[in-house]
A and B are shown apart, each in its own frame.
Chain A
Amino acid sequence: QNQNQNPRKLETSPCFLFTVNSVAKMDFQVVILAGGFSSTLFPLVSKEVPKALLPVANRPVLSYVLDLLESNNLKDLIVVVEGEDAALKVGGWISSACVDRLHVEVAAVAENVGTAGALRAIAHHLTAKDILIVSGDIVSDIPPGAVAATHRRHDAAVTAMLCAQPVSGPSESGGSGGKDKTKKPACEDIIGLDSWKQFLLYIAKGTEIKKDTRVKKSILCAAGKMELRSDLVDSHIYAFKRSVLQKVLDQKPAFRSLKQDVLPYLVRTQLRSDVFSDQSNVEENGNGNGKNNMQNNEVVLSQILSNASSPSFHQVYESGLDSRKTHKCCVYIADESKYFVRLNSIQAFMDVNRDVIGDANHLSGYSFSAHHNIVHPSAELGSKTTVGPHCMLGEGSQVGDKCSVKRSVIGRHCRIGSNVKIVNSVVMDHATIGDGCSIQGSVICSNAQLQERVTLRDCQVEAGYIVCVGGEHKGETFARK
């Protein structure tokens, strides 16, 4: 199913399919970085609900990642959570939800260690040849197996998944939520690719670059051409060679973030690699003499797989110098039709919820009614109440008379009074909404209560918070201090 995403259409698909289906066999370990209690998502995230368990169409966001990995036959997973409390919550959910299908370990690391720090903390668990690292807040249908395959094909040190900037993605056609998106921050990532779009030559965060983009001449000289793209974003799915990753983490104790430190470092040093210098020794010690031979075979194999009639510029460069080592930084560019959003802001949370029951509904895993909505059979609707398309009404929720629900997600066991209007909003489980409320573009967290005739527009209400009678609010955040 995945051969379409292959950046070079020249590749032979049989090999490719083979690799996708047997990623697990090919000695890959998957690490999911599920974060902790993210502060950017306040007040949606609370002590009860860590980031990984935020509901997207009434399912924790982490479940989307797990489903995605499962569909790619990646079933051996390590979920890394920041903070013991969060780890307990996440672990509890995982054991209840998918213990039968997947083999998942949950590891807790200290808070605020960053992504690189988290990996450093669990380094002793990593044993496979290559590591696939997936951010836990992804809602997407891009196959991570394809990243793994690309990685293996090039025998790369690191492979990053890139996808089109979501501004032009399917989410835009949702229309209603688009008002904030028109003012998208220009170029999130600046990414330099070689002319075959196989190798990553340059990466910088667009927001960090104030005036000029500086591209090193040496890499330009070696590669000849570089295409600088500002319409791609790094999707936080990486495949690393384990030895390389561990070496970088060891050598650079100050590195905190994979995206901002480790990846740029590897990209920058790809023409004079330190990470490979004594790799063969390590391998030999670990696996005896046969391994060396294996490695040579793998190099040959990777050349065959990458269809390399002419050697890559890395090899050319390497051959020009005597004791020079290079490593490859590869990319996998997802097809533009694929859906990809990271749940890393409140806006993104709204978008994801809207999209998953709207345009990207194949991700939700639910079957939609003829009205393009999902109303749980146990939900009760009052008379003259309408639930429009692209809506979701959870189990056991009650909606009073003359209500109107449009493009919104309503969780389980919510109580909604009469004459309530809910548009473009997310109402989480066990929320109570009084008569005559009007809610637009807002998030009502679980157990929150809106008393009668409250009007909310672009507001967030923290879990368990009570909004008093008859207020009219716009763009506010309701939370206990």
Chain B
Amino acid sequence: LQFILELRVLDSLVKSNLISEGGGGGMGAQKKGGGAKVSEDAEEQSRQRLQAILLADSFATKFRPVTLERPKVLLPIVNVPMIDYTLAWLEYAGIEEVFVFCCAHSVQVIEYLEKSEWYSHPNLVVRTIESHKSISAGDALRYMYEQQTETSQIQGDFVLVSGDTVSNMPLADLIQEHRERKKKDEKAIMTMVIKQSKSSSLTHQSRLGTDQLFIAVDPLTKQLLHYEEDKIDHPRGSICLDKSLLDSNPSVLVCNDMQDCYIDICSPEVLSLFEDNFDYQHLRRHFVKGVLVDDIMGYKIFTHEIHSSYAASIDNFRSYDTVSKDIIQRWTYPYVPDINFSGNRPLKLGRQGIYRASDAVQSRSADVGASTVIGYGTKIGDGDKILNSVIGNGCSIGSNVVIEGSYIWNNVTIEDGCEIRNAIVCDGVKIRAGAVLHPGVVLSFNVVVGRDFVVPAYSKVSLLQQPTTEDSDEELEYADSSSGTADHMSGLNLQMEPKASELGPDGAGYIWEVCEGAHDEEWKHSVAPIPKDKLSEFTQAIDDDDTDDESVIPASGELKSDADSINTDMNDPNDDYYYFEKEVEGTVLRAVEENIKVDLVTLEINGLRLSYNMESADCAGATFYSMMKLAVDTPHSSASELYKTATSIISKWKELLGFYVKKIDEQIEVIMKFEEMCQDSPKELGPLFTQILHLLYDKDVLQEDAILRWAEEKAGADEVDKVYLKQCETFIQWLKEASEEEDEDDEDEEEDD
């Protein structure tokens, strides 16, 4: 049925002269169609060229090891490099100027573009921008902004896409919509394209292998209110929407069944926002969330849902698989293998969605099943079984080979009797006779799989060794920045490591180890279908979640609202005090190091006190704590040395402390704090308790009343708590006597009066 539909569409397009059958001429005709659309608002358009920024780097490592040798945007998807899909779509959608931002493997990207027809395209100006310093999308846009100030290339609103986008959505109307909204509301700086994903709850998000996405949108204005990504296999927990959202919007649509197409219409403010917020790296995780949270600037992001057109970004191997299938199933029309849209040689479409190059040689006894693509110069041997797969150009496949759901790139040699299921096989790979690739295998360039070798599921194999100093933090391993050198090394490796026997005696290549932690993720991103047990595990998780939730609900019947529990988490006074103490500690430390004046330090601590809503006593405690901590942290060999340091610190900074210990209560707080510290480190500070207490008394930090009051309070405490009270018993006794004497003196004086 779909093919009939497709043919109808094609038919109507031909009639309306949008596309003519002759491959090359098609582009011009298409362009006319696009031009006609654009001319509707000729005035507006003539003022501003439609521009796009295409990020030719994913700033991620999901396609490793393949991307060590070739940039992601040049990886073929159904035998055409990804970037060609993006450029062809942009051109068709009426974009006039594209800035291709290259980072990793920039030489390769630029070389490719120079050779391709894009550089000399009549309707689309392609400019490349090269930057090796950028390690994230944020950096790239900052770089653009800096360039911008010099050359002002970006004149107005622009489309921001990454070079791995496959789409056929029209953009002109959307840009128009964005501009009109911007005119009405200065703060509407971005329009994000979203698309309904498949309807089953299990495939909402797993289809593209991306993280679970939850967004909240105002159903009337389509303003984006909340954006949250979560790991797919953790459907536990809940989404937290700020209450103010609901107060200001009578209705909020929370969606889980939307996918983010990573196509954004941006106003120039976006670039300057990146410039202002130098810590924005990721477009979504930092920028979008930052804008949503920031209510000072009040910038707004809107969403645009597409219904009939296709848009997807190839983020990982699973989306590579999904998008490939969508292309074969013609959802991306006119960007399908039998149409020349970027100088590719169109294939011939046969029954059952089989695309075949005119010069492909296929043995009579080979069985080529539905949804298969066979490229130019490829030979298929006797008794082969090929199903749901893409085979590139110049491959040679021996006899009795089984290939299912796999992607074989160009110039691959597969010898007799191999079995390949759900794998990606890059250019120049040799698979020797009888080898078996289990689902999820990725073979990078020029790998050789030995005879009868079985490559285990989900392995990633490359001629290059896995970078050993891999940073486990995904945020930090953005780009294949070392890739420039990798290009040269690959040649070396070939010669140097023919003996690499990880793939059998006559094989070549390293099987990469899965870095720890990522192991569970492997099945999500892989080309292999999600295993059954994972699916059931996934649903199981939902149930577990529910039962967890159940137990949280108090049996007392008075249902405690969920919000209460957050509140206590969030505003735990102890927590606050902890952070306050940390801050004070930092301040005091800096003051000591840089010898800042006491006045200034008190000013700073007072500021902290106000911002954390603390009492003066808390300041006293925290200040004293920081000072003692400093003393303890200063290297010392004996207790007496520690005492010396403490003495010097206290005598030097007693004024600071004195500022906060004007009242008895505050002084008691200091003693309590000190006691607490001693309990925490009984070996170091413990023995010095009395000495330091005495010191504080001598330095007039503590008054005798405070010490005596503390002693009184402590008298009723548990034995365990009395350790330090006992330690300083004599001191207190002495104080008591002294004060009695004083009292007597006072009395005497009074009597004298």
Contacts and interface: CB of A to CB of B under 8 A. Distances in A.
A221 B201 contact: yes
A314 to B, nearest CB: 11
Nearest to B196: A224
A216 B548 CA distance: 12
Given A217-B256, A218-B235, A268-B549, A210 B564 contact: yes
A254 B556 CA distance: 6
Contact of B257 (A225, A261, A268): A225
Describe B's contact surface by its main secondary structure: mixed
B624 interface: no
B738 interface: no
Contact of A264 (B212, B230, B250, B559): B559
A320 B202 contact: yes
Interface in B235-255: 235-243, 245-247, 249-255
B595 interface: no
A190 B214 CA distance: 19
A473 interface: no
Contact of A221 (B204, B240, B563, B567): B204
Given A268-B549, A320-B201, A187 B247 contact: yes
A314 B257 CA distance: 16
B539 A230 contact: no
B201 A228 contact: no
B256 A225 contact: yes
Interface string A304-317: 00000000010011
B219 interface: yes
B585 to A, nearest CB: 29
A369 B556 CA distance: 56
A107 B236 CA distance: 44
A224 B204 CA distance: 8
Interface string A191-213: 01000000000001110111111
B567 A228 contact: no
A269 B546 contact: yes
Contact of A213 (B243, B250, B564): B243
Contact of B256 (A206, A224, A320, A321): A224
B555 interface: yes
A190 B246 contact: yes
A324 B540 CA distance: 11
A280 B352 CA distance: 48
Contacts of A206: 246
A204 to B, nearest CB: 7
Nearest to B238: A214
Contacts of A316: 200-201
A226 interface: yes
A214 B566 contact: yes
Nearest to A218: B542
A254 B557 contact: yes
A228 B561 contact: no
Contact of A216 (B238, B242, B243, B249): B238
B255 A225 contact: yes
B583 interface: no
Given A216-B545, A313-B201, A226 B254 contact: yes
A300 interface: no
B219 A209 contact: no
A217 B214 contact: yes
B230 A217 contact: yes
**Which among B546, B567, B570 has the greatest number of chain A C-beta atoms within 10 A?**
B546
B228 to A, nearest CB: 9
B199 interface: yes
Contacts of B241: 212-215, 228
A175 B247 CA distance: 24
Interface string B547-569: 10110000111110111101100
B543 interface: yes
Contacts of A221: 201, 204, 212, 235, 256, 542
A271 to B, nearest CB: 7
B563 A229 contact: no
Contact of A260 (B542, B546, B559): B559
Contact of B253 (A190, A204, A211, A228): A228
A321 B539 contact: yes
A205 to B, nearest CB: 7
Interface string B131-160: 000000000000000000000000000000
A205 B561 contact: yes
B214 A220 contact: yes
Contact of B236 (A204, A209, A217, A254): A217
Contacts of B249: 230
Interface residues of B, number: 51
B563 A230 contact: no
Contact of A211 (B237, B239, B549, B566): B566
A226 B256 CA distance: 8
B239 A254 contact: no
Nearest to A255: B557
A5 B94 CA distance: 46
A256 interface: yes
A230 B556 CA distance: 28
B247 A210 contact: no
Contacts of B230: 217
A205 B559 CA distance: 11
B33 to A, nearest CB: 34
B189 to A, nearest CB: 25
A260 B553 CA distance: 13
B305 to A, nearest CB: 11
B651 to A, nearest CB: 46
A162 to B, nearest CB: 12
Contacts of B566: 211-212, 214
B563 A211 contact: yes
A231 interface: yes
Given A215-B241, A220-B256, A225-B253, A317 B246 contact: no
A222 interface: yes
B563 A214 contact: yes
Contact of A228 (B199, B252, B543): B252
Interface string A161-188: 0000000000000000000000000110
A227 B251 CA distance: 7
A216 B561 contact: no
A215 B254 contact: yes
A384 interface: no
A47 interface: no
Nearest to A264: B559
Of the candidates A225, A260, A265, the one having the most CB atoms from chain B within 10 angstroms of its own CB is: A225
Contact of B539 (A210, A224, A320): A320
Contacts of B559: 260-261, 264-265
B567 A211 contact: yes
A192 to B, nearest CB: 7
A252 B553 CA distance: 12
B76 to A, nearest CB: 34
Nearest to B570: A211
B239 A208 contact: no
B182 to A, nearest CB: 27
Contacts of A225: 253-257
B373 to A, nearest CB: 33
Contacts of A210: 243, 563-564, 567
B250 A230 contact: yes
B242 A212 contact: yes
Contacts of A252: 557
B272 to A, nearest CB: 31
A401 B249 CA distance: 52
Query: Nearest 7 CB-CB pairs, A to B?
Result: A254-B557, A224-B257, A231-B250, A212-B240, A214-B238, A208-B561, A218-B542
11 contacts: A209-B563, A211-B243, A213-B243, A213-B563, A215-B238, A218-B545, A220-B239, A220-B256, A224-B199, A227-B253, A228-B254
Given A218-B546, A228-B216, A317-B201, 20 more contacts: A186-B247, A187-B247, A204-B561, A209-B563, A211-B243, A211-B566, A212-B243, A212-B563, A213-B563, A214-B240, A216-B239, A218-B545, A221-B542, A223-B201, A225-B257, A228-B241, A228-B252, A231-B250, A231-B251, A256-B558
